[in-house]
Structure 1
């Protein structure tokens, strides 16, 4: 990834915009449609000659074709490795000379491209970014080099207990869906990928009808529309079909992956809520009480503070596009993991049966509403939030109404949603290590 260092003045510009934004009661979002039909959200801020741009392409690693797992991840890693007559070094040098910063990333559900640039160099920076998006070289030397980097990362993941647990949990949860395997692929699948495979995945994943865009800074709606057509107008209209919804096949219990380490790690969870579920806010607040509120959460209090079974434990909602999950993580000494799991299971059932208290609800709301404005602390952060909102199907006024929606959740809502979200009988643990007292648990190979 290219993350060109900014000058001190550039960093100061970002700070000033951040302060100005937080001083406002709300963010003024303009919905923009380019002449070519590309839609985007814009927050204009002309006091500083700087703009942050975010692009997302829905699909990501879930669009890997059969037998080609890891192709999208490898393709995205090659976008910064040269275009046209430029090789990777030429491209990096050109971005640095323009004081521009580009980064590229992929996830299970999307491809992300982030750009930051000065107004005075915007046209040249946009053209350079366009070439990397529309005309990447994908030459064999770069393919070999990036493939080796990916393979090194895969080898590292094969020995990391938390990664082992994640892969085993995904395999158990998702069956034959792409989510069941790592988006990086395997050593075998990555080694087999050819340049033709990479080109095909570029055409099939980076397409106009799945692009979301946002911009924050010194740019008008008219300028943004022209910029978007320049950046992505030449991409194909459509690509690989999106996958079907995944059936989450978790039946509960504790499953052990034997591994010779002094401390076991566990991932636990079951099916969760989609982001557009009408009860999502209640579920979100419930999770803050359960395991998402740091030291104020029940899991941290019961597992760490009262019993000293771990340094850290938490839970979180994972509303993937094709399979929402409710997950948690914990690590504990091999001779204490069984007790940690027992405590977590007990707390899961208590939440299911009794919901939360009035005091817990009040503190969770304060935690969520008080910290929300702090997220909008710079052009790049705001642009990232805006494009994420679009992908989640939210409206521009969400930044204004979000805290009110949190405040509107009642104890009755939480109690009702606890019966939907918490599934004690389906709560599944995958433990990696040599945990004592779990010998009777099924052992994954």
Structure 2
């Protein structure tokens, strides 16, 4: 990697640029510039003029965790309303402008962040930027648009009530996080959705949309000199500081937890997990490698081999690390016949305990590191993927040179690291398990382990 202080740039557009040359694949390298606008708004830029297209991704801290207590779904409903009219432009006209100019604009509420995305042809950048500015600084929240989007969201919620995967996921969050904000349904409920009005949406917008928690990444046919003032044009009208409610660390259950919701379906949906690690934990990279061996490596993982390949109990079985801002957890899932649910769960439990006791083999570790290093460039094969990765790297405070360092961190994981972290990660093997279906032959664990 090369990292240099950029030469002076004419005009005020670029206050400082840190350039990181990123080898993201055999064909080319990616140069990341840290751009600071005249108004002090920062963004990471990958300038690429080969295609006349610009992708901008951004995020505000907050997400669904900032929904008012007792009223989940505010952030999610707002995410589908921001492009339903803004400023003096009503919904139909706003949507027509996006379609006519081939501008893609979307928003999404995660647990801890509120995300936005805009893609445009270079020739339409001015119009696209103005529409994005209006959407994030002057949303209308008209009653007709709220009613339409509320009805659309409610329709999805009704379908989710009959979908076993959705039921299992919601049950798992409620079981693990309880009445903590992480335990609330991101999309709300049919009851709370009806209570969300324009006032609640405007209050959320006022508290969350601010410059101090904003991260931005831009990829495409734009220079640092052009991007600098553009950042002020789009985001400069936002308040300087957010007014976020403090989110406490959740108290996770101790020991085994098992909850079942009966549903008349031929399969049982299993979701499982246990405490994990925060993203800034020094052991996170070794844990990531170890989880790949256990359940993250799809066709090569221990869970896949034992449950799918050897016994044909499930079409897929997986696990992953889920680091939220306030807590880290491990999560996973599988679907199997009702009469094989107990057997499948016992195998999952056994493999987790075996990983805790023995850790991976040296051969497993070598294969995992080889795969994780070789597949990393696939995260950067489109402008949208690059921009989203850069936003997440900024949110995680990993540094502009992380992309260059990441594979070295993977390679540096030793067998001693992996076995030590496996024991730390999976501990006594206890699990939080939720199931939806008609599972046969389950043994209910004692509460509290």
TM-score with structure 2 setting the length:
0.91
Question: 1:176: which partner in 2?
Answer: 179
Among 336, 349, 355, the alignment partner of 2:353 is: 349
Instruction: Report how many residues are paired.
Output: 424
Q: 1:379 aligns with which of 378, 383, 394?
A: 383
How far off its partner does 1:250 sit?
Answer: 4.6
2:41 alignment counterpart? 38
Q: Distance in 2 between matches of 1:314 and 1:26?
A: 32
Query: Contact 2:258–2:444 (CA<8 Å) still a contact in 1?
Result: no
Aligned-residue offset at 1:332: 0.6
Residue 49 of structure 1 corresponds to which residue in structure 2?
Answer: 52
* Paired residues for 1:212-227 under 5 Å: 212-227=215-230
Residue 103, structure 1, aligned to residue 106, structure 2: yes
Equivalent residue for 1:401?
Answer: 405
How far has the Cα of 1:88 moved from its partner?
2.0
2:288 is equivalent to residue 294 of structure 1: no
Deviation at residue 21 of structure 1 after TM alignment: 7.0
C-alpha deviation, 1:110, in angstroms:
1.0
Q: More displaced, 76-85 or 266-275?
A: 76-85
> What is the CA distance between 1:439 and its match in structure 2?
6.4
Moved over 3 A (4+): 20-26, 439-443
- Tell me the CA shift for residue 176 of structure 1: 1.9
> How far did 1:440 drift?
4.6
Q: Give the Å deviation of 1:87.
A: 2.2
> Among residues 332, 339, 344, which one is paired with 2:336 in the alignment?
332
1:273 is aligned, of 261, 270, 277, to 277
SS at match of 1:426: coil
Match of 2:5 in 1: none
Q: What is the CA–CA distance in structure 1 between the aligned matches of 2:374 and 2:205, rounded to whole Å?
A: 41
Q: Secondary structure at the match of 1:28?
A: strand
Answer yes or no: is 1:92 the counterpart of 2:95: yes
1:105-153 Cα distance to aligned partner (Å, 9 max, x none): 1111111111111222111110011111111110000000101111111
Alignment map for 1:285-324 (pairs within 5 Å): 285-324=289-328
Hey, what does 1:8 align to over in structure 2? Answer: none
How far has the Cα of 1:174 moved from its partner?
1.1
After TM superposition, the structure 1 stretch with the greater mean CA deviation from structure 2, 243-252 or 362-371, is 243-252
Kept after mapping to 1: 8 A contact 2:256/2:445: no
Residues 330 and 442 (structure 1), Cα distance of their counterparts in 2 relative to 1, 3 Å cut: farther
1:248 maps to which of 222, 240, 252: 252
Contact 2:304 2:317 in 1 (8 A): yes
1:440/1:97 CA distance change after superposition, 3 Å: closer
For residues 290-328 of structure 1, the C-alpha deviation after alignment (integer angstroms, 9 at most, x for no partner) is 000011000000111111111110100001111211011
* C-alpha distance in 2 between matches for 1:231 and 1:440: 55
Instruction: Work out the CA distance in 2 between the residues paired with 1:146 and 1:421.
Output: 42
Q: Contact 1:35–1:225 (CA<8 Å) still a contact in 2?
A: yes
Q: Distance in 1 between matches of 2:298 and 2:429?
A: 25
Rounded Cα–Cα distance in structure 2 between residues aligned with 1:26 and 1:412: 33
Give the corresponding residue for 2:154.
151
Q: CA deviation at 1:26?
A: 3.6
Q: 1:411 is matched with which residue? A: 415
d(CA) in 2 for partners of 1:194, 1:442: 43
Quote the residue 1:390 is aligned against. 394
Q: Secondary structure at the match of 2:31?
A: coil
Matched residue of 1:438: which SS? coil
Does the CA-based 8 Å contact 2:24-2:377 persist in structure 1?
A: no
Distance 1:250 1:97 in 2: 55
What root-mean-square deviation, in Å, do the aligned CA atoms of Structure 1 and Structure 2 show? 1.7
Residue 62 of structure 2 is matched in structure 1 by 59
Aligned partners of 1:251, 1:168: CA distance in 2, in Å? 18
Q: Report whether the alignment pairs 1:196 with 2:193.
A: no
Tell me the distance in 2 between the aligned counterparts of 1:307 and 1:172: 29
- For residues 139 and 228 of structure 2, the distance between their equivalents in structure 1, rounded to whole angstroms, comes to 23
CA contact (8 A) 1:365 1:407 kept: yes
Structure 2 CA distance for aligned equivalents of residues 273 and 395 of structure 1: 19
Q: Tell me which residue corresponds to 2:363.
A: 359
1:185 aligned residue (184, 188, 207): 188
Tell me, in whole angstroms, the C-alpha distance in 2 between the residues paired with 1:250 and 1:435: 24
Q: Distance in 1 between matches of 2:169 and 2:445?
A: 18
> Per-residue CA shift, 1:40-77, capped at 9, x if unaligned?
11111123322111111111000011222111111121
